[in-house]
Chain A
Amino acid sequence: MATTLSPVAVDQIGGRGPTLAPPPRDGGWGGGRPDDPRNRLRRYRIGMLFALAAVVMLFVSFTSAYIVRQGMGTWSDASARYVTDWQPISLPPILWINTVILLLSSFTLAMAQRTLSRKLRTAPRGGTSPAAEPALIATDQRSIPWLGITLVLGAGFLVGQLLAWEQLRHLGIFVSTNPSSSFFYVLTGTHGIHLLGGVLALAYAGLTSLLRKPLATRFLVVDVTALYWHFMDFLWIYIFALLHFAR
């Protein structure tokens, strides 16, 4: 798909990220068509922000279940009073390493974003055909494959999470062992599934360059995936903090 990048669009796509004006109060996408790269980018970003709102609600629900379950007691016939069965589990230390890996991956992804936006800014004006646009990987032999590194780090995080589960299982702590362990598996598992989605999106982002998709499209995929990825990062820190401090 040939993309004509207007000078305005190019100026606004670059640097630390586009400074996109919101659509005018009276609609109309600020001129241009809905599938202009600037408009598409804004649209996908808005979509991703709302998608993240839904993910937030999922974890808000888990959090409130966590707090309720931790605090409430059950009537015990034997002792004729309410007793609570909450027993905190010790968190496997590998989680700290996983956290560092994930934070690192956010950094490398941000670098990938920067590289791509620099490419966009220096792209020939007036438009080119996709065949003439260099593949991200092919020409940057001397630049660092930030996207690839992020992918590896992300996969590494997931492997690390599975190792954490393995360590707990060795200690005889399973999902049904006690309420605290149940929440550990649910929270880390749900986060892991969402992060896996992010890993697949990163793989797709890499694929777009191999498939010679237009630069603007590649930037969009990386940018929107990055939004999701950074959020997953933040979500992990939140979950880790909840499990650690609200034991």
Chain B
Amino acid sequence: MSEQHAHAAPTGFIRKYVFSLDHKVIGMQYYFLALVAVFVGMFLSLFIRIHLLWPEANLPWFGHIKPEQYLTLLTMHGTIMIFFVLTTAPQSGFGNYFLPIQIGAPDMAFPTLNMLSFWTTFVAFVVMLAAFFVEGGAPLAGWTNYVPLSAIPSAGPGLGLGEDLWIVSIALFCVASLMGALNFITTTLDLRARGMSLFRMPLTCWAWFVTAMLALLAFGVLLAGGILLLLDRNLGTSFFVPGGLNVSGNLSFPPGGLNPGGHPITHIGGSPLLWQHLFWFFGHPEVYIAILPGMGVASQLLSTFSRKPIFGYKAMVYAILAIGILGFLVWGHHMFTSGMSPYSAFAFSVMTMAIGVPSAIKTFNWLGTLWGGRIRFATPMLFAIGFVSLFVSGGLSGPFLAQPILDISLHDTYFVVGHFHLIMGVAAIFGIFAGTYYWFPKMFGRMMNETLGKIHFFITLAGTYAVFMPMHYLGMAGHLRRYSQLTELNYLRPLMGLQEFMSYAAFITIAAQFVFVFNLFWSMKKGKKAEINPWEATTLEWTVPSPPPHDNFGGVTPVVNHGPYEYSVPGASKDYIMQTDPATVTAH
């Protein structure tokens, strides 16, 4: 077991850039995987919006989008975005790159395991994309993959090999995430430099740590569900699939019948609700996995660019912990109409309201950080401010959905789609943008272009609000989700104008993302050269060169004397005190 940080940096292209053990390279590999994934996901959503606007359109190469293809678009859009973008870039991307540096470590705890987790994620992504190209195509059961639709190949196109590949891809992703999670946890607990106590860690590190804990405990449950579903689909078991089904004339699992292997079956009843419980027990922590790192980045940036300590650091830490713990206790709020016991619904509902409280605390504290500050409007800060706005908007539709009596009308409508897009599809993405613009100078030694960044910000902020805020109106009016045609129900007719508006807004917003991509790649080569600490920030990554050397701190172990948010300390000579500045600089 060699420890790379005790050795010289690797040489050769393969060791340096392909099978690297360096957490910085691995972080970038994850980031760029997510970048490819987000473009795939974005194109899928482009087709969704085109289809809703012009249902009869004949797209080049693709042709006319049939109802089952529409469902495939939204299934794969959701799956790819949630797993390969939102669970990847903020945590495995930025977390891998910056967690060790921010705590003063030369690398992650287990570099080889780190490399393995990236490549497993990569294989998972390839398998997921392969589903598009096999016979029958990619699955259409939604990213939620409810049984029996997902378990019975004859229930729809794409539910054959494509669905099996989907499950295998997700299972691989689970294994990769578990490996990554235990790396993050061990690193945070064991590799902090002297003086870096837990309560001196930047909130980004707390967010990555709690996110890793969530991932560690949640992905195993999804893996279990996936294994049982594969067995139901291929080996004739009945964990989830009840007997006595007549799927459009195909009788499945009849008692006394034979399973695919030719062996007699005597069971008649699996539980579709069991799949939902297993899926959502994972699925709810998953959405907190998607948002927590963005919250960490927002806290970091709001403090840095307001030149003011984060308001209520300890409360922020406790809020992250509370969100993490409560996140495991609320999964039933996705199942209020499922046939689950109404008493369980009551319990889940109360827990869900409870989780709104730490979220509110964080929002108040972000506002409290801005208040009395001296705000500098660099592009990273714009995205952090946008994050707060989007989190408020997306979060406040939560109390509607958390109450079962209101959820009855809103479940499976566009209200839900608007809610989770504002939080995951926009706020979490803003967290990724914010992190990119903020840490780009450290990763590449150059600045991203501020003008292009501001253009990207304003169009994206207005555009995403224009796409997703109207979804709440649609949902309240009863507009259902996952509908490939909107012409069958009379009460949907007055809502078509909004759908058109949303599609046009989406086209503009998607176009604006190319500004970001151009800025990203152009600045890598042509951006203004960056100083070592262009934002005048206090955390450890701003003490090392850009990009940092192989072992981060050049063989010198940092010693930490200050907390992470010592900005504008009265009596100090400059308006920031780095965490590694000598202890005599301030009493804190």
Contacts and interface: CB of A to CB of B under 8 A. Distances in A.
B269 A73 contact: yes
Interface residues of B, number: 65
Contacts of A186: 227-228, 231
A83 B266 CA distance: 13
A210 interface: no
B263 A174 contact: yes
A84 B269 contact: yes
Contacts of A85: 243, 266-269
Nearest to B266: A178
Interface in A153-197: 172, 174-179, 182, 186, 190
Contacts of B195: 26-28
A33 B191 CA distance: 10
Contacts of A6: none
A142 interface: no
A1 B266 CA distance: 60
Nearest to A73: B269
B186 A43 contact: yes
B250 interface: no
B217 A53 contact: yes
B265 A176 contact: yes
A21 interface: no
Contacts of A55: 220
Interface stretch (B103-111, B484-492, B580-588): B103-111
Given A27-B560, A34-B106, A83 B221 contact: no
A35 B3 contact: yes
A74 B220 contact: no
Interface string A207-225: 0000000000100110000
Contact of B237 (A43, A83, A182): A182
A62 B5 CA distance: 40
A65 to B, nearest CB: 6
Interface stretch (A44-52, A121-129, A144-152, A237-245): A44-52
A23 B189 contact: yes
A74 B239 CA distance: 12
Contact of B271 (A28, A42, A72, A175): A72
Nearest to A189: B227
B324 to A, nearest CB: 14
A34 B191 contact: yes
A68 B186 contact: no
Contact of B224 (A29, A42, A61, A87): A61
B248 interface: no
Given A54-B181, A62-B224, A74 B242 contact: yes
Contacts of B218: 57
Contacts of A175: 231, 235-237
19 contacts: A26-B197, A28-B193, A34-B5, A35-B6, A47-B109, A47-B186, A50-B182, A50-B186, A57-B220, A61-B225, A61-B281, A65-B274, A85-B267, A174-B261, A176-B238, A176-B261, A176-B263, A182-B238, A186-B231
Interface of B: 1-3, 5-6, 103-106, 109-110, 178, 181-183, 185-186, 189-198, 200, 216-221, 223-225, 227-228, 231, 235-239, 242-244, 259, 261, 263-271, 274, 277-278, 281, 557, 560
Given A34-B106, A64-B277, 19 more contacts: A25-B198, A26-B200, A27-B104, A33-B6, A43-B190, A47-B110, A58-B224, A60-B220, A61-B220, A64-B278, A68-B271, A69-B274, A74-B242, A85-B266, A178-B265, A178-B266, A182-B237, A220-B1, A221-B1
